[in-house]
Amino acid sequence: MYEPTHHSDAVVEENINKPGRNVMFLSADWCGDCRAIKPFVQDIKDTISQTANWFDADRDENLAVATKYNMRGIPSFVLFEDGQEVSRIGHGERLTPQQVLDWYQSTQA
């Protein structure tokens, strides 16, 4: 089962602002839908990491970042390019791995 890496707000912001494509997985330990997708997150990460930097954020531990970017629903996957949000999926609903991969594929030109 995938275990997200915990980061400070500063490290999350650094990852958001890295040049290129950066995908954030936003979750929380108490979130049932987050737990439901965790068995599949490593496969999602392996696929996305071929073309983007991947990093994790925790909705509670990184509340300042989540608030700044108006991220309320979890689990969420958020794509940033050169520090700007491009797209996101997940607004509090249960996601399937295929939905996440289809979303990411749709963001590639």
Q: 19 in helix, strand or coil?
A: coil
Q: Which of 26, 31, 57, 71 is catalytic?
A: 31
* Active-site residue, from 24, 34, 44, 71: 34
Secondary structure (DSSP) of 55-80? EEEETTTTHHHHHHTT--SSSEEEEE
**Does residue 34 have an active-site annotation?**
yes
Q: d(Cα 5, Cα 101) in Å, to the nearest integer?
A: 21
Question: Annotated catalytic sites, by residue?
Answer: 31, 34
